[in-house]
Structure 1
Amino acid sequence: MTRIRGKALLLSALLLAMPAHAEEHKARAVIKALDRAVLSGELAARVTSLPKRPGESFKRGELLVGLDCDLYEAQASKVAAENNAAKIKLDNARQLNELRSIGSLDVALAQSEYAQTQAELRIARINTQRCQITAPYDGKVVTLLVNQHENIRQQQELIEIVADQRLEAEVVVPATWLSWLRPSMPLTLQIDETGDRVEATIAAISPAIDPVSQTLLLRARFAQSSELMPGMSATAYIGQTDTQ
């Protein structure tokens, strides 16, 4: 009896030492990409190239949309010639000023003309660079919003892209959970579309509560997200542990 009573006391002590695990809380979540954008054209031009199709991958710096640049290249060449002429005129004005053939006002005017053509040349070169819309990061094409050979206007939306390897989950939870939620807490996401369970940790807790729904937004970071896609929905399971 003494031995049995001793084992019972030892078991009771172990149970008291272990944290009591309360019910597992669950909430709805959605998978989102950290980088997702709709790229627009900054020029009015004709689309000459769309090398990537929806679903295809690309690397940072790769061409996504090519525009007809003949007009802008011609303008850049014209301004470059004007800039060169203004530089010759300025050099000549400085030489004449040293010989006392012209005054300082003429030199200042030549300097101003040269500065103006330099600014116009920079603008022309920027426009030629805008004829090629390149990828700002590694990712995939979501959808094309324009077709090849179409003429586009300024600020027209052309292509939607996403960085599908940089994902996070947004979890909406009751505001009453704020009393025990903490950053870096682990959670498990069960993906609706695949049924897979993915481990994550709370990266940040929104500093504001929605006054209408009395809910709070959490951002969760994945340990591994290669099988996930932006737009997937999930159920998040967060375990609350109370110490006695």
Structure 2
Amino acid sequence: MITPLSNKGLLLAALLFSASSIQAEEHKARAVINAWDRAVLSGELAARITSLPKRPGESFNKGDLLVGLDCALYEAQAGKVAAEHTAARVKLDNARQLNELRSIGSLDVALAQSEYAQTQAELRIARINTQRCRIKAPYNGKVVTVLVNQHENIRQQQELIEIVADQRLEAEVVVPATWLSWLQPAMPLTLQIDETGARVEATIAAISPAIDPVSQTLLLRAELTPSAALMPGMSATAYFTTDSTQ
């Protein structure tokens, strides 16, 4: 004999059925791991390479020498300009003294002042050129590729070395535009790396303000938990978990 459920029992059964119907739903999208800082450094001078202390894959710290250039010519030019600057300073001081004695006019002092200012600017340029003979690391990171060899002569603006800051990484995720109904900043997601199979936790840092009109997709930037297993250029599948009601 089946005993009818009481009102209380019916209410409990309804709540259990309703709770079971709200299930977690998983969404997948493709992603790529990028570095915040990645650059190809070029030479600003035409000179011969004298030093390449770092090879591909090696680490460096901010301020370390990456490429050294032969600076003999630029140092000689700086020395010549420094001598001219000193002479212009002496000439200006002498002109001011003579002007006080009424031996020359104010025009001669002005010309001496102008000559001194010109040599001062030329000296500054010469010193900048000597500093450019040593290309230093702008941040901590690793060498990706060395594009030249020691003893080669390079031209201005020639690409020399590619570097990357491998400790500051983020993921770029391409998702359908229809996901905007539930996507929001700081939302968690999980990345499964294609190359290693590792799973990495991340959070949405920013959502692109524009939708691609052709593919109807948009770009997300995700902050990654620091991990030694990650490298720039890796690809991954991003997993988002939401309630089925969303």
What CA deviation, in whole Å up to 9, does each residue of 1:20-63 have, x standing for no partner? Answer: 34421100000000000000000000000000000000000000
Three-state SS of the structure 2 residue aligned to 1:208 is: coil
Q: Look up the match of 1:55.
A: 57
Please report how far the alpha carbon of residue 17 of structure 1 lies from its aligned counterpart in structure 2 after TM superposition: 6.7
What CA deviation, in whole Å up to 9, does each residue of 1:199-240 have, x standing for no partner? Answer: 100000001111111110000001223220000000000112
Cα 1:223–1:12 change in 2 (3 A) is farther
Cα 1:190–1:88 change in 2 (3 A) is same
CA–CA distance in structure 2, aligned partners of residues 65 and 97 of structure 1: 51
Does the CA-based 8 Å contact 1:21-1:239 persist in structure 2? Answer: no
CA–CA distance in structure 2, aligned partners of residues 15 and 91 of structure 1: 97
Matches within 5 A, 1:124-135: 124-135=126-137
CA–CA distance in structure 2, aligned partners of residues 60 and 122 of structure 1: 25
Residue identity matched to 2:68: G
Please report how far the alpha carbon of residue 242 of structure 1 lies from its aligned counterpart in structure 2 after TM superposition: 5.2
Does the CA-based 8 Å contact 2:167-2:226 persist in structure 1? Answer: no
Residue identity matched to 1:20: I
Three-state SS of the structure 1 residue aligned to 2:109 is: helix
2-11 or 214-223: bigger deviation = 2-11
Q: Look up the match of 1:26.
A: 28
Matches within 5 A, 1:77-96: 77-96=79-98
Please report how far the alpha carbon of residue 179 of structure 1 lies from its aligned counterpart in structure 2 after TM superposition: 1.4
Does the CA-based 8 Å contact 2:188-2:204 persist in structure 1? Answer: yes
Unaligned runs of 5+ in 2: none
Cα 1:210–1:138 change in 2 (3 A) is same
Please report how far the alpha carbon of residue 178 of structure 1 lies from its aligned counterpart in structure 2 after TM superposition: 1.0
CA–CA distance in structure 2, aligned partners of residues 15 and 101 of structure 1: 108
CA–CA distance in structure 2, aligned partners of residues 32 and 39 of structure 1: 18
Q: Does 1:44 align with 2:46?
A: yes
Does the CA-based 8 Å contact 1:19-1:243 persist in structure 2? Answer: no
CA–CA distance in structure 2, aligned partners of residues 118 and 45 of structure 1: 25
Three-state SS of the structure 2 residue aligned to 1:66 is: strand
Q: Look up the match of 1:172.
A: 174
CA–CA distance in structure 1, aligned partners of residues 223 and 20 of structure 2: 28
CA–CA distance in structure 1, aligned partners of residues 4 and 135 of structure 2: 82
Three-state SS of the structure 2 residue aligned to 1:225 is: coil
Does the CA-based 8 Å contact 2:25-2:244 persist in structure 1? Answer: no
CA–CA distance in structure 1, aligned partners of residues 65 and 5 of structure 2: 78
- Which of 148, 151, 161 is equivalent to 1:149? 151
Does the CA-based 8 Å contact 1:45-1:69 persist in structure 2? Answer: yes
CA–CA distance in structure 2, aligned partners of residues 143 and 152 of structure 1: 17
What CA deviation, in whole Å up to 9, does each residue of 1:183-214 have, x standing for no partner? Answer: 10000000000001111000000011111111
Q: CA RMSD in A?
A: 2.1
Does the CA-based 8 Å contact 1:35-1:163 persist in structure 2? Answer: yes
What TM-score do you get using the length of structure 2 for normalisation? 0.93
CA–CA distance in structure 2, aligned partners of residues 221 and 50 of structure 1: 34
Q: Does 1:223 align with 2:222?
A: no
Q: Look up the match of 2:117.
A: 115
Residue identity matched to 2:56: P
- Which of 154, 158, 161 is equivalent to 1:159? 161
Residue identity matched to 1:123: I
Does the CA-based 8 Å contact 1:167-1:225 persist in structure 2? Answer: no
Three-state SS of the structure 1 residue aligned to 2:66 is: strand
CA–CA distance in structure 2, aligned partners of residues 19 and 95 of structure 1: 97
What TM-score do you get using the length of structure 1 for normalisation? 0.94
What CA deviation, in whole Å up to 9, does each residue of 1:103-139 have, x standing for no partner? Answer: 0000000000000000000000000000000000000
